[in-house]
């Protein structure tokens, strides 16, 4: 039996680009069903997508993360191609991405953007992607070189075990951290990246969305690496406490007096906060380990790529 492939296209005001996106994927992966999820467009995007042959659905909550959450919950397939509806990604790469996913039994294949067009991948966006990707690689491990790519292929067990907590463009960061944290098998495929069609405008705001992605990374570090996060915080507080206490101790050793009582009390307060921070890190580390184990079990409860879904007969236990 051939694999069921679903192309998922989140859209907001992409009436200019969406017909070409749908046509490109219909030609590249003719066996796939193309789903366009409209996110409160006001320019006729749903009508343009339907006229091009896509299955059109709607998500009212604004933001790409909200659309991804809805798509992952609604659609059943063996391989999921997620792509932006702006016409910048190459549909011709889709068959190779699906093939690599199924043949190598992977859970995520990321399209690494390759372009010489300055308007397609602006220097500020390129630098920001490198910095943010480097931060995630440093904390969660190697395996991803283009963390913010909007073109990916997922297995069913990735999609159905993915928490999908974000609301906006930071959802790509969640994809990466989820894969690295659970040590899922992933790969990358280099693909051309083009400029937007004339008449369309990017929804990405460099500073606003960059700040939201950075905030998401910090939040994920706090949530998924609490011992490192609170341990570093405890270390910083301990250094400040020692810096305040050192002159007080020097004066006491010389004169036998403690004339800087506010400074002494501040150093003690910082020492207490450092101890509390370390204790929080140790406790949350245990909690996080339990959550990771639960996510891993949920992931393993689903069949790997290339194998059909095996329903459990009524009245029997799962093997």
Mean pLDDT in consecutive groups of 10 residues from the start of the chain, 319 residues: 88 92 96 95 94 95 93 95 92 95 94 73 67 82 85 95 83 89 92 77 63 80 87 94 90 83 91 94 90 87 73 46
Q: Is the dihedral of CA 139, 144, 150, 155 positive or negative?
A: negative
Query: What's the pLDDT score for residue 318?
Result: 43
Burial 148-179 (b: 16+ CB within 10 A, else e): bbbbbbbbbbbbbbbebebbbbbbbbbbbbbb
**Dist CA 85 CA 196 (whole Å):** 10
Query: What's the pLDDT score for residue 15?
Result: 92
Query: What's the pLDDT score for residue 312?
Result: 46
54: left (phi over 0), alpha (psi -120 to 50) or beta: beta
Fold of 5-224: Spore Coat Polysaccharide Biosynthesis Protein SpsA; Chain A (3.90.550)
CA proximity to 159, closest of 42, 242, 247, 80: 80
Question: What is the pTM for the complete model shown?
Answer: 0.78
Contact 100, 137 (CB under 8 A): no
3-class SS of residue 169: coil
How many residues make up the chain in this entry?
A: 319
Count Cβ atoms below 10 Å from residue 32 Cβ, excluding itself: 21
Contact 75, 6 (CB under 8 A): yes
DSSP secondary structure string for all residues of 127-143: HHHHHHHHHHHHHH-SS
Token pair for 164 = 């999908």
Query: What's the pLDDT score for residue 33?
Result: 96
Query: What's the pLDDT score for residue 211?
Result: 77
Q: Which long-range contacts (CB under 8 A, 24 or more apart) does 239-246 make?
A: 240/270, 241/267, 241/268, 241/270, 241/271, 241/274, 242/267, 244/270, 245/271
Dihedrals phi, psi of 240, to nearest 5 degrees: -60, -40
Contact 222, 281 (CB under 8 A): no
Query: What's the pLDDT score for residue 203?
Result: 59
Contact 235, 257 (CB under 8 A): no
Query: What's the pLDDT score for residue 278?
Result: 93
Contact 10, 29 (CB under 8 A): no
Dihedrals phi, psi of 74, to nearest 5 degrees: -85, -35
C-alpha pair distances (Å), 236 with each of 177, 233, 239, 241: 26, 5, 5, 9
Query: What's the pLDDT score for residue 184?
Result: 93
CA proximity to 162, closest of 40, 75, 62, 287: 75
Query: What's the pLDDT score for residue 123?
Result: 58
Mean pLDDT of the chain: 86
- What is the DSSP code (8-state) at residue 206? H
C-alpha pair distances (Å), 118 with each of 124, 131, 189, 276, 319: 11, 19, 21, 49, 54
**Dist CA 37 CA 75 (whole Å):** 11
The domain ranges of the chain are: 5-224, 226-300
CA proximity to 169, closest of 115, 218, 224, 206: 206
């Amino acid at each position: 039996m051939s694999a069921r492939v679903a192309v998922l296209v989140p859209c907001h005001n992409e009436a200019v680009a969406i017909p070409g996106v749908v046509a490109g994927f219909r030609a590249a992966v003719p066996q796939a069903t193309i789903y366009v999820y409209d996110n409160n467009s006001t320019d006729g995007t749903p009508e343009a997508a339907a006229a091009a042959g896509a299955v059109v659905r709607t998500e009212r909550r604004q933001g790409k993360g909200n659309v991804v959450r809805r798509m992952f919950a609604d659609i059943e397939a063996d391989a999921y191609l997620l792509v932006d509806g702006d016409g910048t990604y190459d549909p011709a790469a889709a068959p190779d991405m699906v093939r690599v996913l199924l043949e190598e039994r992977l859970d995520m294949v990321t399209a690494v953007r390759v372009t010489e067009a300055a308007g397609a991948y602006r220097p500020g966006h390129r630098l920001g992607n490198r910095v943010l990707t480097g931060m995630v690689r440093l904390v969660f491990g190697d395996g991803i070189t283009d963390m913010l790519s909007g073109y990916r292929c997922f297995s069913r067990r990735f999609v159905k075990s993915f928490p999908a907590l974000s609301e906006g463009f930071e959802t790509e960061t969640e994809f990466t951290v989820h894969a690295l944290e659970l040590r899922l098998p992933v790969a990358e495929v280099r693909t051309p990246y083009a400029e937007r069609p004339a008449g369309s405008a990017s929804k990405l705001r460099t500073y606003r969305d960059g700040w939201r992605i950075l905030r998401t990374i910090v939040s994920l570090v706090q949530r998924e690496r609490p011992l490192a996060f609170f341990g570093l915080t405890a270390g910083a507080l301990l250094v400040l406490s020692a810096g305040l206490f050192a002159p007080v101790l020097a004066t006491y050793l010389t004169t036998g007096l403690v004339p800087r009582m506010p400074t002494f009390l501040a150093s003690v307060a910082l020492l207490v906060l450092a101890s509390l921070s370390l204790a929080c890190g140790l406790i949350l580390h245990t909690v996080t380990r339990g959550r990771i184990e639960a996510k891993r079990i949920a992931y393993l409860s689903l069949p790997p790529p290339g194998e059909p879904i095996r329903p459990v007969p009524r009245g029997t236990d799962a093997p």
